[in-house]
Structure 1
């Protein structure tokens, strides 16, 4: 175990999160140890949420003139965290529980070969909101164990595909090495996309059940109907085409098509089929740009195709 003291920075992206932001920061600064530095990037909020935030010595606000999205805002914040070893991305509606940061710091020292860490996210006292993220063979993604009652098997540390960026920790150096979040994604699936690139580069992710975060979930995006559907399902296409090695992409495309067609009736029932189809249309219209990104991504691949196949999820049902 490496006993080196690691500097810890936290990024919070705020956009009209109201009283949640102040609660998020207050819980964060109760931790022992406290973060060395907290950067809040405010995406041109109009709800006065910043005014509800007390002044703290180690909390810094970066205000931008427009809503740049989650991905770009995190990348901006990273430029203010050059002197830290670990970076945590934390949503304003995610509240760290006692001992969370200590568990993450301990794990980063305990697992030097792992470069990202997923928290145990909880919806309620005994209901999971997520235990790391999965990447399905069809290109669909989800948070592991979402909505499941907490059981002993979810209290075991193990490798996962990627962390949910609502409460994730990355080694800052490798975050920068793979290019950070893809800003064209704006919001949603950007964490899976980053996790995919990290896995391709041989950078693994560990789920840490002792790092507990209470997550309200979509507390902000739910205010904007269709937002999550559009960005999520557009970005699923981009993630698949950007990151998947060609031979595996050809293998996965039929499953991706089946998944896309299977979900269409679901969105018809929900009255969201127009935004769903628009997401797919826009995703494929922009594929030439996305395809051009593949060259540098595939050049950095350090794991075998066989190893990559073992990282995908093959279950028919979650």
Structure 2
């Protein structure tokens, strides 16, 4: 039986958890191709991957390109109808891939299927992604058939539709590459479904540090870039202005949250990076528009704040 899917696992310094992920992929009921993208790990990860028993291909990048960059680096190598994104700290059930494949086979209008991602204590991290009224991506934890977007930690996409929608935004490094991609798929007229029985266990934050300054930098920057690429122009402008107003008022506020994304230095860095990328982002926005079959405002009205 030929494989329907290629599973792409991006790793960076994954020595402490990559083996469990690869063991779980070896136990999958569906035949598949596995590509491991090693983001220049320097902690012994490469040796673990080489020694692991199982069929997989390894692509070692000369520098760390992040999750988004790693996915983008091997998209041209995918020859199967479906491509799965899987975090290196995720451990899928044996039927995980089969459930996702069955969902897409049964629903031609869906271009992506997202998993039930459980934390190590058994609680639900995500069954999909919602779009907030101010343009943030937010994990959905109540199961449902259709969601705005997929969580990139464990999802299956139609390869042709992903390429047609512009692929993976490699420059994001990590975070919001999944919501951006889901948004572009919706603009192209496709849907995203949540598949409850497709379960994975996730060691959340094993490779990155949620709450760190770097984490907030990527989140704040990539959300604004995503809005300029995908959202109605009025929303993109509004949220950039709002970001600047909040930043300007921080010195006179008495109740400033302690989170790193409320540090003036970090916010100024985010704004500078957005400004430097704006010319390219505007061109990307125009290209996304030419590929779209659904108006940006239609998608926004249907999903923002829902």
5+ residue gaps in structure 2?
A: none
When normalised by structure 2's length, the TM-score is 0.88
2:104 pairs with one of 105, 108, 111: 108
- Which residue is equivalent to 2:117? 121
Partners of 1:40 and 1:77 within 8 A in 2: no
- Which residue is equivalent to 1:213? 200
Residue 12 of structure 1 aligns to a residue whose secondary structure is strand
Evaluate the alpha carbon distance shift between residue 181 and residue 270 of structure 1 in structure 2; reply closer, same or farther with a 3 A threshold: same
Partners of 2:10 and 2:67 within 8 A in 1: yes
Structure 2 counterparts to residues 126-275 of structure 1, below 5 A: 126-145=122-141, 154-156=142-144, 158-222=145-209, 225-245=212-232, 249-251=233-235, 253-254=237-238, 257-258=241-242, 268-271=257-260, 273=263, 274-275=265-266
In the aligned structure 1, how far is the partner of 2:7 from the partner of 2:34?
5
Evaluate the alpha carbon distance shift between residue 48 and residue 106 of structure 1 in structure 2; reply closer, same or farther with a 3 A threshold: same
Residue 205 of structure 2 aligns to a residue whose secondary structure is coil
- Which residue is equivalent to 2:28? 31
Indicate whether 1:279 and 2:270 are aligned. Answer: yes
1:71 pairs with one of 68, 77, 87: 68
Q: Return 118-127 or 21-30, whichever deviates more.
A: 118-127
5+ residue gaps in structure 1?
A: 146-153
Evaluate the alpha carbon distance shift between residue 165 and residue 293 of structure 1 in structure 2; reply closer, same or farther with a 3 A threshold: same
In the aligned structure 2, how far is the partner of 1:18 from the partner of 1:125?
21
Structural RMSD (CA):
2.5
Evaluate the alpha carbon distance shift between residue 293 and residue 112 of structure 1 in structure 2; reply closer, same or farther with a 3 A threshold: same
Evaluate the alpha carbon distance shift between residue 48 and residue 305 of structure 1 in structure 2; reply closer, same or farther with a 3 A threshold: closer
Indicate whether 1:313 and 2:300 are aligned. Answer: no
Evaluate the alpha carbon distance shift between residue 313 and residue 306 of structure 1 in structure 2; reply closer, same or farther with a 3 A threshold: closer
When normalised by structure 1's length, the TM-score is 0.85
C-alpha distance after superposition, 1:176-219 (max 9, x if no partner): 11121112211111111111111111121101111111111111
Partners of 2:127 and 2:143 within 8 A in 1: no
Q: Return 203-212 or 260-269, whichever deviates more.
A: 260-269
Partners of 2:7 and 2:33 within 8 A in 1: yes
How many residues are matched?
A: 298
In the aligned structure 1, how far is the partner of 2:52 from the partner of 2:33?
13
C-alpha distance after superposition, 1:246-279 (max 9, x if no partner): xxx2156435644775696787513551223311
Residue 117 of structure 1 aligns to a residue whose secondary structure is strand
Residue 101 of structure 1 aligns to a residue whose secondary structure is helix
Residue 159 of structure 1 aligns to a residue whose secondary structure is coil
